[in-house]
């Protein structure tokens, strides 16, 4: 295993990252320094983020980490764990899901969609998750026409059984970008599906603010078949009784929620929403939310009006934004750290940016960022995603192929 210390191969990593930008959604040029963090403060009438952590935790200034390379894969984009299973499962952009046992990848994938996925810049096998009981594997991918599928497979004999394949959700994509792609089960047992606004630039169809389309949304569904349908809508969804809205919608006003996660302790939902050309943002939905939040796109980019638009009434402002001025291009949402290996990081949200590659951490108190710190190490080759194992330890993925474990540095 290879260890990456702070500052490792920074210049070389950025040169290699540039060659991989075309393989995902990240099109802006990278600069020499990490982006500055700008905190958006809640205003009266705007739902605030939860108190996800507090100043009683050790200060982030005490945290020292390193990146330990545990595997080299092919454009890894997502990681999943299965209940009662010690192995890690990683989705590769090109279509295969591979199993890692003690850091070694199986020679045969547990699921192979190679040849069925489109490989455009923001396309491919984009997300995976196991059902809470571990009996089903769900994948999110774009087919050869560029359209989105959320598909389920029954888990049998330590792999996904292709004979049990079942399409849960199909989304016609008008353009080749902004597909979202992440999948996660919430503490409520429902499947959350993040979808981008459908692509092009600036959301030309106004999908983010429209409740009649699933694009530009966070969806919440029960993915099990019901009454002859491939899934059902939880009765508590915010728009379930409205004729002018899609019942699957949980939240809206999102441009491209590339990566999002639930805090395994508080149940809060953290969303890294990729910006247009100026601002990246992180949004937080408190665990007690009844859904229905509007995160502002395309009337807002971050905490700023987009092209002179007015702020939508009641729009939820990000807890954090940063500009592209210092090299950032695409926020990569991560996780609130709940592991045991790095005590000083407990309760902090870890995230990054594809172009900059350095890992960041923030803490909230009363819905505001009270601490933020650049943690040091740089993910070489383009930071594409994060993962969390069964013990709450975190992993970072490089589009160049490396899967790293975030570990303490003596």
Q: What is the 3-state secondary structure (H, E, C) of the chain?
A: CEEECCCCCHHHHHHHHHHHHHHCCCCCCCCCCCCCCECCCCCCCCCCCCCCCCCCCCCHHHCCEEEEEEEECCCEEEEEECCCCCCEEEEECCCEEEEEECCEECCCCCEECCCCECCCCCCCEEEEEECCCCCEEEEEEEECCCCEEEEEEEEECCEECHHHCEEEEEECCCCCCCCCCCEEECCCCCEEEEECCCCCCCCCCCHHHCCCCCCCEEEEEECCCECCECCECCCCCCCCCCCCCCCCEEEECCCCCCEEEECCCCCCEEEEECCCCCEEEEEEECCCCCCCCECCCCCEECCEECCCCCCCCCCCCCCEEEECCCCCCCEEEEEECCCCCCHHHCCCEEEEECCCCEEEEEEEECCEEEEEEEEEEECCCCEEEEEECCCCCEEEEECCCEEEEEEECC
pTM given for the model: 0.89
38-67 pLDDT per residue, tens: 444 333 333 344 444 454 677 999 999 999
Report the range out of 4-13, 100-109, 146-155 with the highest average pLDDT: 146-155
Residue ranges and CATH numbers for the domains of the chain are: 2-408 (2.120.10.30)
207-223 pLDDT per residue, tens: 999 999 999 999 999 99
Q: Is the pLDDT of residue 364 over 90?
A: yes
């Amino acid at each position: 295993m290879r260890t990456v210390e702070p500052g490792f191969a920074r210049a070389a990593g950025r040169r290699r990252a540039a060659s991989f930008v075309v393989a995902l959604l990240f099109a802006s040029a990278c600069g020499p320094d990490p982006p500055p963090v700008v905190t958006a403060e809640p205003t009266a009438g705007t739902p605030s983020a939860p108190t996800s952590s507090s100043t009683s935790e050790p200060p982030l200034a005490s945290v020292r980490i390193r990146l330990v390379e545990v595997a080299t894969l092919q454009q890894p984009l997502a990681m999943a764990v299965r209940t009662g299973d010690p192995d890690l499962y990683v989705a590769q952009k090109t279509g295969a899901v591979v199993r890692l046992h003690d850091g070694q990848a199986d020679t045969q994938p547990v699921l192979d969609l190679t040849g069925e996925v489109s490989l455009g810049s923001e396309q491919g096998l984009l997300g995976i998750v196991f059902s809470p009981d571990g009996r089903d594997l769900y994948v999110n991918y774009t087919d050869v026409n560029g359209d989105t599928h959320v598909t389920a497979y029954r888990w049998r004999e330590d792999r996904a059984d292709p004979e049990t394949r079942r399409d849960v959700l199909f989304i016609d994509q008008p353009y080749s970008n902004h597909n979202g792609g992440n999948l996660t089960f919430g503490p409520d047992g429902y499947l959350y599906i993040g979808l981008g606004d459908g692509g092009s630039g600036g959301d030309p169809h106004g999908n983010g603010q429209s409740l009649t389309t699933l694009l530009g949304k966070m969806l919440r569904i029960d993915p099990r078949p019901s009454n002859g349908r491939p899934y059902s809508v939880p009765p508590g969804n915010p728009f379930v009784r409205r004729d002018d809205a899609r019942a699957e919608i949980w939240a809206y006003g999102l441009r491209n929620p590339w990566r999002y996660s639930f805090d395994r302790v508080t149940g809060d939902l953290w969303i890294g929403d990729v910006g247009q050309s100026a601002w990246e943002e992180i949004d937080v939905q408190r665990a007690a939310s009844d859904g229905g939040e509007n995160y502002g796109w395309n009337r807002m980019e971050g905490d700023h009006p987009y092209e002179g638009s007015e702020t939508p009434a009641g729009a939820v402002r990000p807890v954090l934004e940063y500009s592209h001025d210092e090299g950032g291009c695409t926020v990569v949402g991560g996780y609130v750290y709940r592991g045991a290996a790095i005590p000083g990081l407990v309760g902090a949200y870890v995230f990054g940016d594809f172009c900059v590659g350095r890992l960041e951490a923030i803490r909230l108190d009363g819905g505001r960022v009270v601490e933020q710190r650049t943690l040091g190490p740089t993910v070489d080759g383009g930071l594409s995603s994060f993962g969390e194992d069964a013990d709450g330890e975190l992993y970072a993925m490089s589009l160049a192929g490396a899967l790293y474990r975030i570990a303490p540095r003596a």
